[in-house]
Structure formats: structure tokens, C-alpha cells
């Protein structure tokens, strides 16, 4: 049973691990409504444990802290114990096979891909791909009979939760009362001092009223009273136009937007491109106005490229349709010529057939 997922164009990282765990815990109803998929995916609640391999993505401080807060036990695969990953590897293999039938697949290796142009054949947006995957999970994968179980995954899951005539079920897991806080708990974190200009991270400045009382705060553990105090912040790489400040007195997260409010929602990936562009143009990478202008400029270029791509696709489609129509017309003409030829041949045969004598003149 697939209990959650995280889909991204980014390489696997601590962020993808944290987001996947949050997805496993949180209700899927909001996502199904967002994707307009009429399906059941009643899997939510805080798990007892998480089993992973020993990759560095699974050994991070902020994930460990979040799991500790919610009582989740983290178990690492024994060194050399690849056999313990059989179930998840099998499931991922099935997902990969399903994805490889889509246009734009990169296949499993270079040999399989050959001369296939994956980028040119790609035809789905990330949101469309997410719809396809979630639909497949809920409507196909969970519903079909599993060869090893002898029944579907959804039926086996329900038996595990509610029990059978011979086996007691585990019951529903504890649900999260504050989903927003749980989501933020699993986000990547960083520490920073709070200046008069706010908080700086990757050349972006953030400010909100909740920060005012902490401006230029001194670290209480510094006996010399010189070192500035660092505070905990959380950031979602999918939208860095805002961060979350963990207020130490109330133990509550407060949203902190960029100091320049005009900066739109932007992913960390896109923002890195903006920074590279500013460097290439020898502009000030910390100037918030220049950052804002660069975002608009690069997005405008992207929109123009998309427009040209759409025009090219329409042109290619017209060419295909015209070629198909010409082929059909040619085939029709060839068919008509064959019929006419057969008709003429039949007529010639008629006149060359010898007449049979008869004497009935009535």
C-alpha cells in the first residue's frame, strides 16, 4: 500500500524525504480534491516507525527532530542488508514501468533510450504527471490483485486496520490536529540572526512585525554579551517568497514574507537561476529591486519561449494533419482508378463475348 508520495523535478534530498513523510501522515482528501480525482485514499496518521537505507538524505538533524517530536521511531537497514528493501524496490520498479510508457520517458538507461529524444517527446506538465500518478495509485495499483497477497492492496490494508475473523486489527493511527504545524516541522531549517533589515537568507531579505522584539538580540548563553542570538527558521524550497519563524516564547511558527512584498512565489530552483542571471549581467545579487526585475524578465522570456513552442507544435500538428489528408486523398484516388479500370475492363469483355444464336423474335 502506498501511504504517501512526493513528486519533484529536483534530485532526491532531505527536502524530498521530509515532504514524503509529511504526505504519509497527512490526509489525502485535500490533494484528491485539488487534482479532481474521485477516489478513496484513506491513509493518514502518525506511523510507529520508518524504515530506510543508510543514505545521507535520511540522516539529517531537522528530520530526526521532527520524528522525535511526533514519536516516530527511525530504523536504518543493516549494513549489507539489501534484502530488507525488497518490497519498496519492487513497488518502485512497478511505478517506473508505468512511467516508461509515457511520451518523454528517459528509460532506465542510455542503451534503452538509444536515439529517442526524451525532451522533444515530452508532453506533460508536472501537474498533469501528478494527476496521472495519483489516479494510477488510487484507481489501479491499490485496486488490482497482488500476486503475493492473493488480494488487492486496499483490501489487505483494511484487514490490517480493522482486523479479520481470526486476526485483530491495529486500528486507526493517531491523526494530526494541526496539519500546518506538522508540515512546517518537517521543512528544512536554518538559523539566523535578526537585524534591523530583518532576516537574510541566500540574498533575500525577510521581515514581519513578529521579528521586531528580537532585533539585534544577544545570545543568552554568551557570558560576554557580544554574540548575536540565532533563531530557528523553516523554509519550503518550493516557495521561498516566505519563511516561518519559530518564536521561542510561544513555541509557535509565524509566517515572514520577503521584505520586498512584490517578489512573487518562487521556488529555490528558479531563484538560483535568477541569481546566476544577475551574476552573468554583473548586477548586485543582493539588491531586492534587481532580484524582482530579474524574476519578471526571466519569466517573460520563458513565456515567450512557451508561446513559440506552442506555435511550433500547432504548425507540426497541421503538417501531420495535412500529410495525413493528402495520403488519404491519394489512397482514395488510387481506389477510384482501380474501380474505373475494372469497369472498363468489364465493358471490353462484354463486347468481345460471342453472341449466341436464337430465333425467338417475340
Entry pTM: 0.72
Cα three-residue angle 53-73-247, rounded to 5 degrees: 110
Cβ atoms of 285 and 279 within 8 Å: the answer is yes
CATH of domain 14-179: 3.30.420
Phi-psi region of 71 (alpha: psi -120 to 50; beta: other; left: phi over 0): left
Rounded Cα distance between 235 and 204, Å, is 12
Rounded Cα distance between 255 and 317, Å, is 47
CB contact set of 321 (below 8 Å; sequence gap of 6+): none
Cβ atoms of 146 and 152 within 8 Å: the answer is yes
Assign domain 188-264 to its CATH architecture: Beta Barrel (2.40)
Q: How far is CA 94 from CA 4, 28, 128, 133, in A?
A: 16, 22, 20, 12
CB contact set of 168 (below 8 Å; sequence gap of 6+): none
First to last CA, the chain: 91
Q: pLDDT digit of tens for each residue in the chain (362 aa)?
A: 899 999 887 778 888 888 899 999 999 999 999 999 999 999 999 999 998 877 777 888 889 999 999 999 998 877 765 555 556 666 666 666 666 666 555 555 555 555 545 556 556 678 888 998 899 899 998 998 887 788 998 999 999 999 999 999 889 888 888 999 999 999 999 999 999 999 999 999 999 999 999 999 999 888 888 899 999 999 998 899 999 999 999 999 999 999 999 999 999 989 999 999 999 999 999 999 999 999 999 999 988 887 776 666 666 666 666 666 666 666 666 665 655 555 555 555 555 556 555 555 45
Q: Are strands 189-192 and 231-236 parallel, antiparallel or unpaired?
A: antiparallel
Rounded Cα distance between 258 and 131, Å, is 31
Rounded Cα distance between 47 and 4, Å, is 12
The three cell numbers locating residue 44? 493518514
Q: Which helix (H) or strand (E) holds 75?
A: strand 73-76
Interhelix angle 86-99/126-136, rounded to 10 degrees, is: 120
Q: Which helix (H) or strand (E) holds 256?
A: strand 252-257
Going from N- to C-terminal start, the domains of the chain cover: 14-179, 188-264, 266-332
CB contact set of 288 (below 8 Å; sequence gap of 6+): 204, 205, 258, 259, 260, 263
Amino acid at each position: 500500500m502506498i501511504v504517501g508520495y512526493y513528486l519533484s523535478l529536483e534530485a532526491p534530498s532531505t527536502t524530498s524525504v521530509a515532504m514524503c513523510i509529511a504526505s504519509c501522515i497527512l490526509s489525502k482528501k485535500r490533494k484528491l480534491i485539488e487534482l479532481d480525482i474521485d477516489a478513496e485514499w484513506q491513509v493518514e496518521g502518525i506511523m510507529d516507525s520508518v524504515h530506510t537505507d543508510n543514505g545521507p538524505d535520511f540522516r539529517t538533524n531537522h528530520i530526526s527532530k521532527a520524528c522525535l517530536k511526533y514519536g516516530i521511531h527511525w530504523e536504518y537497514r543493516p549494513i549489507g542488508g539489501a534484502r530488507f528493501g525488497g518490497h519498496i524496490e519492487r513497488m518502485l520498479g512497478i511505478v517506473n514501468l508505468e512511467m516508461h510508457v509515457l511520451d518523454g520517458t528517459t528509460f532506465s538507461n542510455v542503451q534503452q533510450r538509444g536515439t529517442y529524444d526524451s525532451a522533444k517527446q515530452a508532453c506533460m506538465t508536472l501537474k498533469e504527471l501528478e494527476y496521472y500518478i495519483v489516479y494510477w495509485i488510487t484507481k489501479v495499483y491499490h485496486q488490482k490483485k497482488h500476486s503475493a497477497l492473493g488480494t488487492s492492496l486496499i483490501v489487505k490494508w483494511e484487514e490490517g486496520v480493522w482486523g479479520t475473523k481470526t486476526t485483530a486489527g491495529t486500528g486507526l493511527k493517531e491523526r494530526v490536529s494541526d496539519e500546518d504545524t506538522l508540515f512546517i516541522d518537517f521543512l528544512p531549517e536554518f538559523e539566523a540572526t535578526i537585524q534591523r533589515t530583518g532576516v537574510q537568507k541566500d540574498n533575500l531579505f525577510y521581515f514581519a512585525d513578529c521579528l521586531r522584539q528580537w532585533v539585534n538580540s544577544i545570545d543568552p548563553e554568551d557570558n560576554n554579551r557580544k554574540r548575536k542570538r540565532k533563531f530557528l527558521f523553516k523554509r519550503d524550497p518550493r516557495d521561498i517568497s516566505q519563511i516561518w519563524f519559530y518564536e521561542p516564547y510561544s513555541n509557535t511558527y509565524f509566517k515572514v514574507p520577503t521584505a520586498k512584498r512584490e517578489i512573487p512565489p518562487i521556488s529555490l530552483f528558479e531563484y538560483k537561476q535568477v541569481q546566476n542571471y544577475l551574476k552573468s549581467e554583473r548586477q548586485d545579487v543582493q539588491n531586492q529591486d534587481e532580484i524582482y526585475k530579474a524574476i519578471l524578465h526571466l519569466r517573460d522570456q520563458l513565456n515567450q519561449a512557451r508561446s513559440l513552442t506552442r506555435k511550433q507544435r500547432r504548425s507540426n500538428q497541421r503538417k501531420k494533419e495535412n500529410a495525413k489528408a493528402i495520403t488519404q486523398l491519394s489512397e482514395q484516388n488510387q481506389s477510384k482508378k482501380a474501380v474505373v479500370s475494372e469497369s472498363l475492363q468489364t465493358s471490353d469483355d462484354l463486347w468481345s463475348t460471342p453472341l449466341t444464336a436464337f430465333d425467338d423474335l417475340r
